[in-house]
Structure 1
Amino acid sequence: MKILCWELEDPLNLAVFAFGFLLIGTSLFLRGIRVSNHFMVSPPSEDFIRAFSWRAMGISVPLLSDEVYTAFMLTAVLLASLVLRNDRDTRFALSLYSLPVGRKRLVLSKVLAVFIMLFVASFVPFLLTVLYIFGDTGNFFLTAFLSKGLLPLYLLYWTLAVLYVVAVSSLVAMGSPNTFVSVMVGLSVLYLPHSFGVSSLPPAVLNSAIFHAYTSGVSPSGWSMELLSSAFLPCVLLPLFLIALTLYLAERRDVR
């Protein structure tokens, strides 16, 4: 627990957290305000609007677009490199690893610290952006988030996204010879699948899964299970496997 608190209170880590919060928040906000206005000669009926309003709201909410994902993965790689690799470069790890704490527990605390900082730096700006866009709808906004299941859906979406990038970044950081290599390789590993349009990895698989949930025949309360079932392999099993590899590598590698 002390290791986790140290990492969360480290000034350099907090500086990267603030940088990521601002960058991700700006990307989400700019994405969110790009709303097109459409005019219809024969607008739909009120019953039709009510029936599809929750899905329409979900589809219009900004998620991991190209701009947002770039800021998102950059923050993840910088945090993981600083938390897991920088202390080895500065030789602070010689003192840290001498503490009466197992290496796996220590490294797991560091991974958890990266997860917490990245989740807050992405989910809080997301909520603020959604509140800015839909805050004037009053009861509709509250009903959608609290009663119709959108809040659990978005919590799950960002948890899966954060878990994936933290797992990849942590493994790269632990296996890299220095912080610079960790940043460069981490950015490449996370961005190249996205740039080549690999649909089986985030963010494509998450965006496709959440859209599938919106358009499925299940009620809004079941959208979270639809999302989880569609993205379970790349966003749950794969990250857990990568974190296990990170812990194994931490046991095998020299502190230096």
Structure 2
Amino acid sequence: MASSGRNSSITHKNLLQSDVLHQYILERSVYPREHEQLKGLRELTMKHARGLMSVPPEEGQLLSMLLKLMNAKKTIEIGVFTGYSLLTTALALPKDGKITAIDIEKSNFEIGLPFIQRAGVENKINFIESAALPVLDKMIQEVKEDDLFDFAFVDADKSNYMEYHERLLKLIRVGGAIAYDNTLWGGSVAVPVDPSHAERFIEGRNLTVKFNDFLAADPRIEISQVCIADGLTICRRII
């Protein structure tokens, strides 16, 4: 999710060296293959006051490819917003695939629900309106070894990323993956703090730096930090 403390003139999340190159990728390989309901949801979401919180289409395309390469059938999503990444996941999963989607605000999910319904994938989604930690704790108590999840996508409050990580490692199978969004935080993680930035942006940047350091040292996972959109870290559980 994009922080509300970012520069209000920014209209996209893109860390590439040029907007021209970004547009080339979108027009050549992303937009031509974007499902019509994803396109409709993306265009509507960008009219939302917090539209930049949505996963951009090139990142959605990567997530879709990853899910298909893994043959994922059962996933968790923490942080749904209007549901672009959720619809992407639902379209990528097989007919019997299932997603547990958790968000504290159902009203945003309801913006995307008509697109999900028209795409014919609503039956794959179990949406839970709640803070994520209590739901994850309950799932840990109930889940059986043979019923662990294949994949999780996290795009929620950065202050709880470490807490989500510890719980998700108990819910994702060995060999499964967890993807964390916004792990480059507009590129600010690689440079000293700029005091001219909004306080919320700086807080998010500092939390992200701390989380990145934590993941880099975690022996339970393999990681790949991808420079796409606002940064995406893919973690494969190995223990």
TM (norm. structure 1) is 0.26
Could you say which structure has the larger radius of gyration? Answer: 1
Tell me the TM-score normalised to structure 2 length: 0.27
